[in-house]
Amino acid sequence: MSPEATTKTTYRLPIGPIHPALKEPVAFEFEIDGERIVDVRVSLGQVHRSVEWAGMRRNPIQILYLAERICGICSYCHPMAFALAVENIADIEVPERAEYLRVIQAELERICSHILWAGVAAHEIGFDSVLFLTWQMREKVLDLTEYLTGNRITKAITMIGGVRRDITKDMVPKVTEALNYFKDNFEKLRHIFLDDKTFKMRSQGVGILTKEDALQLCACGPTTRASGVKKDVRLDQPYFAYGDLDFDYVTPDILTGEVNGDVYDRIIVRLLEVKQSIELIEQCLDLMPAGDIVSEPKIAKLLATLKKVKGEGIGRMEAPRGEVIHYVKLDENEHPYCWKVRAPTYNNILPWIPMLRGEQIADIPIVAASTDPCMSCTNRVAIVDSGKKYELNREELHKMSVEKTRRLMK
């Protein structure tokens, strides 16, 4: 915040640093004039969990499960990006069937994440009946995940050189049944999210991120696609079996014919991506060839091979929130020499600044939620009003947002 911006009429509103148990701790400082946000300052790096350090004391197989715990929602992308990096170093060929199975798991995770997000977004504007409807659908996604992997959240399906579980012929009917359920319910959700007056009122023209800003601030994932930037690792640098599948960038103009880059557009992009993911899974089930699911089933042998390789590798993939990058360096040792993770929310934090400028305090929850970060950001708010300090907790901020919806409905 520049000193001249601090005039008599504005006051500061610090938000965060948030609860240390959450993955993306961040502190905001808002410059407020009445209800309007004049300026925003974001500071990152509030908590350090030492995941990378812990990883440097474990062997690659153990790291897969550590990487899974970087994020509860992206519990597939992180270990998979790590596996891609290790495969890159050790030149491990992944069997064809495993490539398709990997796509299926990745898209299932995207459906789960986007639907979870849709529920949270509805909750942020005080539309809790939609939250329950979306989470009912998410429950089915979790059931399918449980059926395919054995676990509901931390899937433990990744293996270096493939996946750990196959989808056999007799499992396919149950998967298609679930996919049909998603399709039916998706139409319902789409209708509610895109046509309902309550949503339009709170999301159209709010939290705008222009295409120039999105490009300059390196936003990624649905956040940048909602501003009209065609960026998607799945298409730009196809990995897994994405090269063989038929799909295209999802931008809001597919549906509405124009790109505004507001919260409404971000809702459109995420909802259309759910549909796209369902279609991708169907394509995979059709195209999947028979064969092995992992290149080296003997894990002890795999570990011995990895102990002998030396070099650096990068694994990148499109997580539900955007591009995730893992950098790994192995130096003929049991443990990696270095492991570096860059999660997509990191890129999507700076775009908050142009999005929030000019908006109202009550819009903070929905605008912040629209990039799909960890929602803890609104946890502990202290308003410093001309020397007097009072605190605003998450519930109160949420209440302000709900009240704004009510005001607009009148």
Partner 1 sequence: MRFSMLPQVFFQMFKKPFTNKFPAKYIPSSTTKFLEDVGAGRVKIIPPVETPIDFRGKIQYDSEKCIGCKLCIKVCPTEAIEYKEKEKKIKIYLARCCFCSQCNDVCPTNCLSMGNEFLLADTDKYSKDLIVE
Site for partner 1, rule CB under 8 A: 58-59, 61-66, 127, 129-130, 133, 136, 139, 143, 146-147, 150-151, 154, 156, 164-165, 188, 191-192, 195-198, 299-300, 303
Residue 220: partners with Cβ closer than 8 Å, 6 or more residues away: 231, 321, 322, 323, 344, 347, 348
Q: Which is nearer to partner 1, 184 or 385 (CB)?
A: 184
Q: Which is nearer to partner 1, 46 or 62 (CB)?
A: 62
Tokens standing for residue 237: 């640098």
Look up residue 181 and give its DSSP letter: H
Residue 202: partners with Cβ closer than 8 Å, 6 or more residues away: 125, 263, 363, 366, 404, 405, 408
Q: Which is nearer to partner 1, 46 or 154 (CB)?
A: 154
First-last CA distance in the chain: 36
Residue in 116, 200, 139 with CA at minimum distance from that of residue 369? 116
Q: Which is nearer to partner 1, 36 or 165 (CB)?
A: 165
- Shortest Cβ distance from residue 156 to partner 1 (Å)? 4
| 76 strand-pairing partners | none
- Shortest Cβ distance from residue 66 to partner 1 (Å)? 6
CA distances from 47 to 24, 25, 34 (A): 8, 6, 32
- Shortest Cβ distance from residue 140 to partner 1 (Å)? 10
Q: Which is nearer to partner 1, 4 or 21 (CB)?
A: 21
Is it true that the peptide bond before 17 is cis, omega within 30 degrees of 0?
A: yes
Measured distance CA(123)–CA(131) in Å, rounded: 6
Residue in 297, 298, 301, 280 with CA at minimum distance from that of residue 234? 280
- Shortest Cβ distance from residue 330 to partner 1 (Å)? 17
Measured distance CA(23)–CA(47) in Å, rounded: 8
- Shortest Cβ distance from residue 138 to partner 1 (Å)? 11
Exposed/middle/buried for 111, CB within 10 Å: 0-12, 13-18, 19+? buried
- Shortest Cβ distance from residue 82 to partner 1 (Å)? 12
CA 121 from chain centre, in angstroms, equals: 14
Measured distance CA(11)–CA(5) in Å, rounded: 10
- Shortest Cβ distance from residue 130 to partner 1 (Å)? 6
- Shortest Cβ distance from residue 37 to partner 1 (Å)? 29
Q: Which is nearer to partner 1, 150 or 243 (CB)?
A: 150
Q: Which is nearer to partner 1, 21 or 300 (CB)?
A: 300
Q: Which is nearer to partner 1, 2 or 168 (CB)?
A: 168
- Shortest Cβ distance from residue 310 to partner 1 (Å)? 21
Q: Which is nearer to partner 1, 129 or 386 (CB)?
A: 129
Measured distance CA(402)–CA(44) in Å, rounded: 28
Neighbouring CB atoms inside 10 A of 151's CB total: 14
